[in-house]
Amino acid sequence: MTNTFLSNLGIGESLPHQGEPSWLAHLRSEAASRLLDEGLPTAKTEAWRFTSLRSLLDVPFASAGRNERNRECQSWAEEVLGEDDTNRLYLVNGRPIGFGKAPTDIEIHRLAQMLVDQPEAIQPYLARHARSDFFGALNSALFEDGLAVHVHSGKRPDKALHLVHISDPEQDTPTSCYPRLLLLVDANAEFSLIETYLSRPGATDLCDAVTELIVKDGGKLDHLRLVLGNDNSNHLGTLAVHQARDSQYTSRSVVMGGKLTRLEIDARLAGPGAECKLEGVYHAIGKEHVAHHTTIIHEASNCSSREEYRGLVDDSAHAVFDGIIKVERGTTNTAAHQQNHNLLLSENATINTKPHLEIDSDDLSASHGATVGALDPNQLFFLRARGIDESRARAILTYSFVRSILDRIGSEPIRALLAKRLLTRLPNAEDMAELAQ
C-alpha cells in the first residue's frame, strides 16, 4: 500500500528540476531512496503508534499542478481571515502568488528562484535541521517552490509577516502539496511570523509542510502557526528550530479543524542562554485526529525551555501529545518544564498523552506532567446555580480552559478570529458571541 501511495505521488520516478544545483538533486534522491527503502510509518513505528495513516494511504493523491484560480483563492482566504494588520503573503498549493501588503526591512525570495540564482546562499541552511524521515523526506523529494526569508542583523520590522497557505484541491481529484519555508533571523534581530494553513472545500487534500527556522545570537522570533482545516483536509507539518546564543523563540500552535493533523516540532538549543517556549491549543470534534509531537534538546548551558499545550476533545475525536525534553551531558543551569492538559467532552473522545524528560545532567530544574479529565462538576454547579443553563455553562467552562493561551497571541484581530472559530465549534455557540470579544 505504501509503495502505491508513493508511486502515485511520483516517488521513484526521475523528477528533473531545471536549473537546480547538484547538491539539491542529491538531497532529493536521498530522500526518495529513504522513503522507498523504509516506507511510511505503521502502527509498529513507536512515534506513530497512536496515529493511523490507513485512511490517507487509501487515497490516490496526485501532486497539485499550477493553479489557475490564484486570485479566487486569495479572495476566499481574505474573506475567511478578515483584516489583521499584518504583512500578508499568499501561497496556493505551496507556490507563492503575491503580497497583500509589501513588507519592509526583510528579504523575501521565492525558493525556486533562489535555488537557481543564489543556491550557495541557502545551501548551509536548507534541509539541515528538519527531520529527514517519512513526511519530511517526502517534502524534500517533491517540493517545487516555497519561500526563503532573511531578517538582517538588528532589524525589528513593526508588523508581523503572515504567510497564508491555501490548499486548493480539485473537486474530483485528491491532491497533495508541499509548502517549504526557510527563515533566517540574524543576530539581535526581532521578528514575528504567522503561518496559517487553510483548505478550500473540494476533494480530499494533503498538505505536507516543512518549516526551518534559524535564530542567531541574540535574535528573537515569535511564531504563530494556525491550522484551520475541514472534513477533507489532511495536514502533516514538520517544524525545526535551531537557536544560537541568547536567542529567544516562542511558538504557539492552534489547530481547529482537519480530518488528520499532525505537527512535529524539533527545537535545538545550541547556544548558551537560549530560551524556548512552546505553547498550543487544539480542538478536535467529530472524527478528527490531532497530534503534537515535540522534541526540545538542551545542548548548551544556561538554557531554559517551557511547554504548555491544552486540548479539547469531543465526539469520537482523538488527540495525541508526545513531548520529549532532552538535557545533554555537560550542560549546567538548565530549566526545563513541560505540561499538557486535556478536557474530554464526550465518552467516546480519546487522548493519548506522554510528556517525558531524558536527562543526563544534575544541574537543572525540571518538571513534567499531564492531566486528562472532564469538566469540573463543582464549577458547573456554580454557574447553574446562578441561572446559567447547562449547555451555556459547559461552553463557558470549555472556552475558559484554553483562553489563557489564546490570550497570549499578540494580534487582537487574530485572537478574535480564533475565539469566534472555537465558539462556533462548541454547542450553544449562538449565545456565546460575547466571549470572543
Answer yes or no: is pLDDT of 359 > 90: yes
- Our CA angle for 260, 80, 281, nearest 5°, is 45
CA distance 307 to 311: 13
pLDDT for the residue numbered 53:
94
pLDDT for the residue numbered 396:
82
**Percent of the chain scored above 70 by pLDDT?**
95
Cα 45 vs. chain centroid, distance in angstroms? 21
Which cell goes with 89?
503573503
pLDDT digits (tens, 9 = 90+) for 89-104: 999 999 999 765 557 7
pLDDT for the residue numbered 202:
85
Residues 345-349: contacts with CB under 8 Å, at least 24 apart: 345/312, 345/313, 345/314, 345/315, 345/374, 345/375, 345/394, 345/398, 346/313, 346/314, 346/315, 346/316, 348/315, 348/316, 349/284, 349/313, 349/314, 349/315, 349/316, 349/317, 349/318, 349/319
| Residue in 154, 170, 269 with CA at minimum distance from that of residue 218 | 154
pLDDT for the residue numbered 389:
79
Rounded mean pLDDT of the chain? 91
- Look up residue 315 and give its DSSP letter: T
**Span 220-247, average pLDDT:** 97
- Judged by average pLDDT, the poorest of 164-173, 291-300, 304-313 is 164-173
CA distance 270 to 299: 5
CA distance 271 to 379: 45
pLDDT digits (tens, 9 = 90+) for 371-410: 999 887 888 877 878 778 777 788 888 888 999 999 999 9
- Residue 131 pLDDT class (50, 70, 90 cuts): confident
- Residue 423 pLDDT class (50, 70, 90 cuts): confident
Cα 124 vs. chain centroid, distance in angstroms? 23
pLDDT for the residue numbered 82:
95
In angstroms, how far is the first alpha carbon of the chain from the final one? 48
CA distance 182 to 115: 12
Q: Is 174 helix (H, G, I), strand (E, B) or coil?
A: coil
CA distance 213 to 268: 11
pLDDT digits (tens, 9 = 90+) for 35-55: 999 889 998 999 999 999 998
